[in-house]
Amino acid sequence: MAEPYQIRSDFADEIISADIQSKTYEHIEKKNDYIRSNYIKVLCDENELGKHKGDYVSIECRDLDDHVVRENMIDAIQENLQHMSDNMHVTLKKILVVGLGNRFITSDALGPQAANEILVTAHLYEHEDPAYLKGTRNVAVLQPGVMGQTGLESLSIVQSVAQSYQPDLVIAIDALATRNIARINRVVQINNTGIQPGSGVGNHRMSLCEKSLHIPVIAIGVATVTSIGAILHETLEVSGEEKQHILQKIQDSNYLNLVVTPKSMDDELKHLVYIVSESLNRFLHPNYEQL
């Protein structure tokens, strides 16, 4: 008998529907008029969520076109980046920001485009008077591209740069896959467990994490795609058994893992890039808004 079709998701909170605690993870949900946040602490390596041990925060909104909503997203992301780095006991003197993804594919371009908007100061810290740089931190940015462009694993490139730059923290930005259509371009996940480049499009590469880099890592991921299988699972109005039978039949044709993104992706990407880069700049540089 064929194995049941498993819907792929990069988000830790997508199988949780209530505030519960189990032996393997803890979960708290908070809401206001503009956003909903889910806080998950995975306690064990073996867990129902299939995620690495660590902390995960998802921040979700309904309407990217609303300026107030975008500002609430930025504030929440900045606040959670600060809390996560504090809990990791990270010294924020030198930070390497890594924009993962393919800048030539819209649904995968979030990482490189957000990285383009980060205020880079590492070169100034080598030569300028420290008083001139007050209110900023030493920040470098890397856009390693994808293996099809460079022939190299992103991890290898990041490892080489990190060895030279010696950052206290690596922040990796990437596109992720969601199992819920309504969450595409509406949810950001922050974690301290790292990230696998290409995970959003099902092309998993070597993971960027503290174990592989020997440097603390915070990952920021945004849902920009979903799969055909996730769409069918969500929209088929049949019983669970019949739905699984249909999915298993289609699975044999390898169509279920095809990834899709909405036609509004071009416009919404601009908002997502602004939200991620603005929250990062405010987190990285204490006086960013006054610079």
Find the CATH number of the domain harbouring 27.
3.40.50.1450
Residues of the chain with pLDDT under 70: 1-6, 17-21, 198-205, 237-240, 243-254
Is 161 part of any domain? yes
Integer Cα distance of 61 and 37 in angstroms: 9
pLDDT value at position 191?
97
> Does some domain include residue 37?
yes
Q: Quote the pLDDT of residue 238.
A: 58
What string of H, E and C letters represents the secondary structure of 8-49?
A: CCCCCCCCCCCCCECCCEEEEEEECCCEEEEEEEECCCCCCC
* 197 falls within a domain: yes
pLDDT score at 1: 46
Give the pLDDT confidence score for residue 50 in this predicted structure: 83
Is this structure's pTM higher than 0.85?
yes
Residue 46 in domain:
yes
**Collapsed DSSP state (helix, strand, coil) of residue 66:** coil
Q: Which amino acid is at 263?
A: K
Domain count across the chain: 1
Q: Is 193:87 a contact under the CB 8 Å cutoff?
A: no
Instruction: Look at residue 8 and tell me if it is in a domain.
Output: no
Residue 43, in any domain of the structure: yes
The per-residue pLDDT for 200 is 46
Query: Is 16 within the bounds of a domain?
Result: no
Whether 164 maps to a domain, the answer reads yes
pLDDT at 4: 59
Concatenating the DSSP letter of every residue in 90-110 gives ---SEEEEEE-S-TTSGGG-H
Domain that holds residue 213: 23-226+261-284
How many CB atoms sit inside 10 A of residue 111's CB?
32
